[in-house]
A and B are shown apart, each in its own frame.
Chain A
Amino acid sequence: MDRALNILFRVSVVAIFAFMLLPMLVVVIASLAPTNQIELVPDSLSLQWFGEVFTDRWLRPLQFSLELAALTSICATILGLMGAFAVAYFRCPANSVVMSFLLSPLSAPQIVVGIALLQAFAMVSMHTGLGIVTLLLGHTLVMVPFTTRMITNNIYSFDRTLQRAASVLGATRAQTLRYVILPLLKPGLFAAITFSFILSFNNIPISLFLSQPGATTISIAVINYLEYRIDPALAAVNVVCLVIIIVLVAVLEKIGKFSHTLYKRD
């Protein structure tokens, strides 16, 4: 019986991974097509479509998306850190209310948030000419719930006695923050940066409403392109994005060692 369960478990793990990863494999194959047809089993392979990616048409939104994601992840993580500190360190009966408020952008569909933001920005005449600023505000808004949550979990996971230990040893509050709390928060901060970066980079619903000519993210550029053409260039763009994300996660994980915070509390 145990054996049967074990086999079932292994099969389902493989199935889940296949379900998650095979579509990416399809994209990779499609990007290597020698013709302008997307084929699952091409006769031969070619890198010609990647040449297409490295033109202004794609490089500009790609660069814009990277800049936006980088700024968003930094802003959302700083705000998330502040929110997490407020909730975790100030003993206040309203804490759960504050936490709910910080998480509230999650409760509305992002597309609704996008429309609302567009109207709000229009009302205060911020809808044109600001380019990255409105997008940054919108993206940061929807990322803050994630970063707050991650950093709060990290704070709750370590022993509060450590702060007492530091202060008895002569550390001021600032020194405790610098030498004890922030180093212990490193995994949470890196997890927050990584995830808000990825979520911003991949975001469609907010970007859809706040992108403008000259301030277009890669996702929106893909959607615009899709409106009149489907060819392997899109797959190649996707592969490039995929590689960027994988490299980024690998590098941040190498520095921040955050992956353990995602599945265990220690």
Chain B
Amino acid sequence: MQEPDVELSDVKKMYDDFTAVEDCTLQIDRGEFVTLLGPSGCGKTTTLNMIAGFFPPTRGHIRIRGEDVTRLPPNKRHVGMVFQNYALFPHLTVEQNVGFGLKMRGADNAAIAKRARESLELVHMGEFAQRYPRQLSGGQQQRIALARAIAPQPSVLLLDEPLSNLDLKLRESMRRELKTLQRELGVTAVFVTHDQDEALTMSDRVVVMNQGRIEQIGSPTEIYAQPRSHFVAAFVGQMNFFTGTVAGTGADRVIEIDDGAGRLACPDAASVGAGEKVEFGIRPEVIAIAGEGEPTPEGRTLEGTIEDVVLAGPIIQVYVGLTGGRSVRVDVLNVQGGPDYTAGEKAALVFMTDDLIVFGA
């Protein structure tokens, strides 16, 4: 069993009376890309800053490659960091910025220059070595910040929302590039973001945080398909939520949805019993709208009326109002020759039982 590269045990951070992070236990393996995902104020940046060493945790321990660094200052931790605003040194050239880490560690000039050039080549910025940061675009500064972080070959690369200041197109291409580079270098990466797309597309594992606590740790697939709480289900991707009451036993269990919207078969995996109040969610893209003459099996169908149809590029969002007023979003691929949906028409929504994600109420 390989020792984890970064290990947080029961870390807690308090500011006066405010608890920023609590019960944070996390192990990150060498070469792993782990994302801390959550809304602003959830403690993800605080956690990252404690790994970097900008302030100590109130309680708990942080280890990097087995060494307890809880009380070590940032300059003794040998981590690399990319900041949201890049934080390039304005008075230094690109090459001096990238070489800064090695210079501080006392490397000789030839070694600094060589390593700086290599790092710049890795981010395809070789020809900008003699420029100053202010002469570069946001995307270029981003690359320099990355080159500066990796030049001293840190044991861990910390990334604090590094893509959030870039425009959408650039952000998407940088995601892939960053991920590729991280994999090539084999460096352990901890990435902080509030953008679920970034988290899902780049990570080996996602840590979803809310109000200072870890809600769930899992692969992007797990986080998306098996969210363990309402919060995770709501924060990652789109989700239709329902509340209802369980009736029946064993494989015959059904969920009677509140407000008389209908009943659906309960997935076998859900550990809920008769009479129990439950909440369940279902993703918009796994719901089907039954066409003319298609089957609408009992226990897998809800009837409703189309309220609104929104074209969102590759998908069409169809909002269907159920009996009792509950509105459900259904995402349908926008394919040529596909069925037309018109507000006011009746629609039957067909579900696959195993797509229902059941939470305790």
Contacts and interface: CB of A to CB of B under 8 A. Distances in A.
A162 B85 CA distance: 10
B152 interface: yes
Interface stretch (A124-132, A179-187, A222-230): A179-187
B87 A167 contact: no
Interface stretch (A21-29, A49-57, A168-176, A205-213): A168-176
Interface in B147-166: 148-149, 152, 158
Contacts of A168: 52-53, 74-75, 77, 79-81, 149, 158
A114 to B, nearest CB: 40
A158 B133 CA distance: 14
In this complex, the member of A165, A171, A179 whose beta carbon has the largest number of chain B beta carbons within 10 angstroms is: A165
A180 to B, nearest CB: 6
B275 interface: no
A158 B85 CA distance: 12
A216 to B, nearest CB: 42
Nearest to B154: A168
Contact of A165 (B53, B89, B152): B89
B241 interface: no
A43 interface: no
B351 interface: no
B75 A164 contact: no
A168 B155 CA distance: 12
B54 A166 contact: no
Contact of A169 (B53, B90, B152, B158): B152
A164 B54 contact: yes
Contacts of A167: 53-54, 73-75
Interface stretch (B97-105, B255-263, B341-349): B97-105
Contacts of A166: 89, 100, 104
A171 to B, nearest CB: 4
A168 B88 CA distance: 13
A159 interface: yes
| A interface SS class | helix
**Best-surrounded residue of B74, B78, B81, B152 (most CB of chain A within 10 A):** B74
Nearest to A164: B54
Interface string A70-111: 000000000000000000000000000000000000000000
A231 B31 CA distance: 84
Interface residues of A, number: 19
B83 interface: yes
B179 to A, nearest CB: 22
A169 B87 contact: no
Interface in B72-119: 73-75, 77-81, 83, 85, 87-91, 100-101, 103-105
A44 interface: no
A165 B83 contact: yes
A165 B81 contact: yes
A167 B72 CA distance: 12
Contacts of B152: 169-170
A6 interface: no
A170 B83 contact: no
Nearest to B105: A170
Contact of A164 (B74, B90, B103): B74
Contact of A161 (B78, B83, B91, B149): B83
Given A169-B104, A175-B104, A183-B91, A161 B85 contact: yes
Interface in A129-172: 158-159, 161-162, 164-172
Interface in B28-84: 52-54, 73-75, 77-81, 83
A170 B104 contact: yes
A167 B81 CA distance: 10
A162 B52 CA distance: 14
A163 to B, nearest CB: 9
8 contacts: A165-B83, A167-B53, A168-B53, A168-B80, A169-B75, A172-B75, A179-B100, A183-B91
The 9 closest A-B pairs by CB, nearest first: A169-B101, A165-B87, A161-B87, A170-B104, A167-B74, A171-B104, A168-B81, A183-B91, A167-B75
